[in-house]
Amino acid sequence: MNRHATSYMTLDLFQPFDNTTTQTTVNLGAETAVRNTPHHLSLLSLFSGAGGLDIGFHKAGFNTIWANEYDKSIASSYQHHFRDVAFDGRSIVDIPESDIPSAMGIIGGPPCQSWSEAGARRGVNDHRGQLFLEYIRVLKHTQPSFFVAENVSGILHERNKAAFKNIIDMFIDAGYDVSWKKLNASDYEVPQDRERVFVVGFRKDLSIKFEFPAPVAIKATMKDAIYDLKDLPFGSHCSIPNHEITDTGFSPMFMSRNRVRSWDEASYTILAMDRHTPLHPQAPKMVDSGEKDKKLFAPGHEHKYRRLSVRECARIQTFPDDYQFIYTHARNGYKMVGNAVPVNLAYHIAMQIKKHLGF
């Protein structure tokens, strides 16, 4: 919370802000009334994906009450894990505001393919980029105390500068004090170098200036995350679900640079395509071929090179083992895991939000 403030409006903290409502000010220590409200630490989850953000926020004490995910190949996994959450599988553009409940916060990552530095680069002109507008529509309607939006780092590229400014301006115009920052998951107990942009806003009447969590001192490594899986069998013979790999080959682009990190390092970014999944640390680093943009598997060690399994990727994304990814082909498992927000990173953001709210 903004410790320079001396009061806040309890009546407005968990309900949509109404300028016509009489504003009752209470002492900062009066948290009992807040904790007894039905919206205490409740969340709406938009573009939920596999629920990495949700799990992190749940670990911090929040509770998702309503979620939306249109991709049927992902929705079953989310619903299987979050069985008590009201789930809406329609496209967000087809959901009327009357069907969306109010809550204390909104979390979600609107589809980011159009912003990716490796993607089509159409940005807000792409229909997926315009889903930001749907996020803002829900935000304006429900007016929660805070929101969190996550996206790829490509959204900060110079070519997207004007569009990103427009997005921030729309959040501000919706009634929020907005902060944003590019974070590396490896700074927050995630054994992975993964840069993503987080936008956090608090409703203006709360007078809260958000400060992002400070990096933790100790870095997590690949060994911390997956060493105990190294000798387990793959597939149905494994006691831990989703420990399986695809047998697709490696593209020239994949072979253009080293794709192996050591046990004592953080993983490369876990991506949403099996053909771009990092290689297991049991193998030595790839070696120069003598040709530009072409690496080779170290001679004599070719048998050690394999991509990480779906479960190993999930571990690196800090998903718990009791989360079962449901799919008919492992490539869909890689997609779900790679598109998710790392659970531990979400947890640190959630705890910082709780701190700013005074909990």
Among 92, 112, 174, 183, the active-site one is 112
Mark the ranges of the chain whose per-residue pLDDT is less than 70. 1-39, 112-129
Whether 125 is in a domain gets the answer yes
pLDDT at 23 (0 to 100): 31
95-110 pLDDT, tens digit each: 999 999 999 999 999 8
- Where are the alpha helices (H) located in 38-81, listed in sequence order? 52-59, 72-81
Residue with tokens 């700013």: 356
CA-based nearest residue to 179, from 4, 6, 352: 352
pLDDT in tens, 224-241: 999 999 999 999 899 999
Residue 330 inside a domain? The answer is no
**Six-digit token string for 218:** 């100790």
- With CA atoms as reference, report the closest residue to 252 among 291, 208, 217: 291
Provide the residue range defining the domain that includes 193. 7-218+341-357
The answer to whether 146 touches 201, Cβ cutoff 8 Å, is yes
238 assigned to active site: no
pLDDT at 9: 32
pLDDT at 133: 85
| pLDDT attached to residue 103 | 97
- pLDDT at residue 112, rounded to an integer: 52
Q: What is the pLDDT of residue 309?
A: 98
Asked if 203 and 145 count as a contact pair (C-beta separation under 8 A), the reply is yes
Considering the domain boundaries, does residue 74 fall inside one?
yes
Does residue 196 fall inside a structural domain? yes
The model's pTM is 0.87
Q: Give the span between the Cα atoms of 327 and 82, in whole angstroms.
A: 16
DSSP labels, 102-141: --SEEEE----GGG-TTS---GGGSTTTTHHHHHHHHHHH
Provide the number of structural domains found in the chain: 1
pLDDT of 35: 42
**Is residue 59, in this structure, part of any structural domain at all?**
yes
User: Domain for residue 101, yes or no?
Assistant: yes
Assess if residue 303 is contained within a domain: no
The confidence score (pLDDT) of residue 334 equals: 98
Residue 39 resides in a domain = yes
pLDDT at 163: 81
Q: CA-CA distance, 19 to 11, in Å (whole number)?
A: 12
Backbone angles phi, psi at 309, to 5 degrees: -75, 170
pLDDT at res. 122: 54
The CATH number of residue 49's host domain is 3.40.50.150
Would strands 7-8 and 26-27 be described as parallel, antiparallel, or unpaired? antiparallel
